[in-house]
Amino acid sequence: MNVASITEMWHRLTGTQPDPSRWLVLATGLLALTAVLMRGVWHVTRNAVTIAHEGGHGLLALLSGRRLDGIRLHSDTSGLTVSRGKPHGLGMVLTAAAGYTAPPLLGLAGAGLLAAGHITALLWGATALLLVMLVMIRNAYGALTVVTACALFLLVSWLTKAQVQAAFAYLVVWFLLVGGARPVAELQNSRRRDRTNSSDADQLARLTHTPAALWMLFFYAVALCSLIGGGRWLLGR
């Protein structure tokens, strides 16, 4: 790869792209809402939320100085991130809190990039994050899921026209924003139905000696605030 090619790629990454039409922004938002609300579709698309969820656990584990042993993604859209370090303290709290907050916060960050016209940066950044996560995947289904997602981002960013790239980028960001709250609602229903005490909220409750309901409220607040803020950015308000 010569200097001219590297320079061109850098300009594509840091440059801005034209804002899409308002109908495209609204249409992708409606499509994302459908993907979240329809049960049959959600069973498939929820894998994307699981990737973000477990990626959030993994990222905060590394940033807080813990040792990340691996990430597993399962066909029932559940996941598991294993890290080693002190079983208490701020690092453990941040790692446990990162899962349910990661999808909406990633959506908020993506909305900020799109509002600034950085569609290419969003697509390439997402691809890079998926490649980094792939290194830590420890099961075949998880590897297949991440490779598929990564390939999709690569194909869209390299082989499609600007309008298609914009539609895909807005759809992904809308989906993370809209879909950020449904896993929290599912967790609430699961805790009420099964009376389990092994969820992220229950783990955080034990780590901080606070009620699990407080952490459920925190998860909902992050999802709602991200949706409102990100939605305003995407709609140009």
pLDDT in tens, 148-159: 999 999 999 989
Least trusted range by pLDDT, from 179-183, 189-193, 226-230: 189-193
* Alpha-carbon gap, residue 86 to 42, rounded angstroms: 36
* Alpha-carbon gap, residue 235 to 97, rounded angstroms: 29
Q: Which two tokens stand for residue 101?
A: 């907050």
**1 pLDDT exceeds 60?**
no
* 43-60 tens-digit pLDDT: 999 999 999 999 999 999
CB atoms < 10 A from the CB of 158, how many?
11
User: What single DSSP character describes residue 15?
Assistant: S
* 112-154 tens-digit pLDDT: 999 999 999 999 999 999 999 999 999 999 999 999 999 999 9
Q: What is the pTM (predicted TM-score) of this model? A: 0.93
In single-letter form, the type of residue at position 229 comes to G
Residue 56 near residue 99, CB atoms below 8 Å: yes
Please enumerate, as own/partner, the contacts of 9-16 that have beta carbons within 8 Å and a separation of 24 or more.
12/120, 13/120, 13/121, 13/124, 14/118, 14/121, 15/120, 16/116, 16/117, 16/118
68: nearest Cα among 46, 98, 45, 48 = 98
* Alpha-carbon gap, residue 15 to 147, rounded angstroms: 27
Q: Where are the domains of the chain?
A: 19-234
Mean pLDDT over all residues of the chain?
92
**15 pLDDT exceeds 70?**
no
- For the ranges 96-105, 156-165, 188-197, the maximum mean pLDDT occurs at 96-105
CA distances to 2, 7, 94, 116 from 10, rounded to whole Å, are 13, 5, 34, 17
